[in-house]
Amino acid sequence: MEAGGRRRGAALSAALLALSALALLLLLLPPPQALRAGSELPPGLLEELRQRRRDLRRLAAGGAAAEGGLRCGDVRRAAGAAPVLGSGFTKVVVRAALAGGGAVALKSVHGAGREVRQCEQRYGAPAGCRRLAAYKLLKEVTLLRRLRHPGIVQLHGQCYDGGGEPEAGVTAVLELGAPLEMIQLLQTPWEERFKICLGLVELLFYLAHSPLGSIVLLDFQPRQFVMVDGNVKVTDMDDASTEELSCEEDNDCTLDFPTKSFPLQCSSAGKCEGINEKRNLFNAYRYFFTYLLPHSAPPALQPFLSDILNATGNLRYGINETLRAFEKVLHLYKSGLYLQKRPLLLKDYISLQGFRTEEAEAYKCWPSYSHLGCLLSVHSPEEAAAICSSQPQCQSFIITQQRTWTGRPLASFQSSPTDLIPDTTAVVYIKRSASLGRRL
């Protein structure tokens, strides 16, 4: 399944020939008609266009452009009456299926978005305002072409339509993801929530040491992320910046948030040292770690998680230390070392190899991998016995063949077992107290 997805992705990427070097140059320069009419644009709008153009050129410097081109008209025809996945200040995203590939997300300038409307109200120049908004999408495309990481949504390609029609412009063809819903995430097992936080930390580590330098996500909020095959990915990069705040003294380097401020140092190079990395890390703490890390975590891991929360909440850790702390928790969890010094309860169960039970009465627990019963991640039958012994409803459990992303098996906990059913792949563990009076 995974290999098939990679083959489809490779085929899609090959099919979607990106902007040629010539096309990119055309995008970086205003069209001839704009040059002739440039004096008609308000000075403020002209300056904003020049600033975004300089920013785009700087990001594109050294980046290789793929040869070929795909006209946006072809992409729009593939979209047809595609449903809108979302729209924001500058862009609109629709779902589409291209020939020879799977479903993708098409991102283009939102002509009725707030950025274009506010610009038109300010300058009264619709064409110039659409061009101004297009530079933000071009910036995002450029960043996605330069940055490659599992935590960044994949750019399959981009198309450029140089026609003179009003809707002409650039369209980005992106990996399709599902919106990140925090309420749903809070209902998922702790192991899955830890995976999301770990993925974010790995992404922030990459951004702190990227080929373009330290990158800050200025609009760092859950809505800027999507879920793809259980992994969290940032999907909106137009507000990312490689610039670190300039300074003359330490007083110029206060990192402000609504509830906290952090004094930073002004480096000898005249930059606020580590400000991009620290802004990203604190935003990850306040939007993700606080909600996803502590709840329903294994008790033995909670002291380690509390230290992570305190250290990132006070910016005592940088991203390097945070990544090491997460990797330590992952090692303890996968290896089962966190289970040491616990009473051994498996002796209170009878194990029957080659059988499973037919459940007469299901019971539910939270947070479970199944909404229909109690299905939890365990390191071993010993941990499963401890869980079953702590739940009055539980009379038996089975270690299933299912595995989580850490390689741990899922155990199904049951109440009121009835008949034993032959199953060569299963082992059923029944409480000795529950087995009294039953013929096993």
Using CA atoms, how far apart are residues 30 and 46, in angstroms rounded to an integer?
Answer: 11
Tokens (6 digits) for 350: 């009878």
Using CA atoms, how far apart are residues 344 and 361, in angstroms rounded to an integer?
Answer: 27
DSSP for 90-146 reads SEEEEEEE-TTS-EEEEEEE-TTSHHHHHHHHHH--HHHHHHHHHHHHHHHHHHHHH
Provide the residue type at 339 as one letter: L
Q: Is the dihedral of CA 148, 223, 325, 228 positive or negative?
A: negative
Q: Which long-range contacts (CB under 8 A, 24 or more apart) does 93-97 make?
A: 93/174, 95/176
Catalytic residues: 219
Instruction: Classify strands 231-234 and 91-97 as parallel, antiparallel or unpaired.
Output: unpaired
Cα R_g (the chain), whole angstroms: 27
Using CA atoms, how far apart are residues 17 and 66, in angstroms rounded to an integer?
Answer: 7
Neighbours of 346 (CB within 10 A): 16
Neighbours of 115 (CB within 10 A): 18
Element (H or E) spanning 310, and its range? Answer: helix 302-313
Using CA atoms, how far apart are residues 128 and 42, in angstroms rounded to an integer?
Answer: 9
Exposed, middle or buried: residue 242 (CB in 10 Å: 0-12, 13-18, 19+)? middle
Using CA atoms, how far apart are residues 405 and 3, in angstroms rounded to an integer?
Answer: 17
CB 180 within 8 A of CB 227: yes
Using CA atoms, how far apart are residues 42 and 49, in angstroms rounded to an integer?
Answer: 11
Residue whose structure tokens are 């594109």 = 60
Residue whose structure tokens are 């096309």 = 23
CB 90 within 8 A of CB 109: yes
**Cis status, amide bond into 409, omega within 30 of 0:** no
Percent composition of the chain: helix, strand, coil (DSSP 3-state, to 5): 40, 25, 35
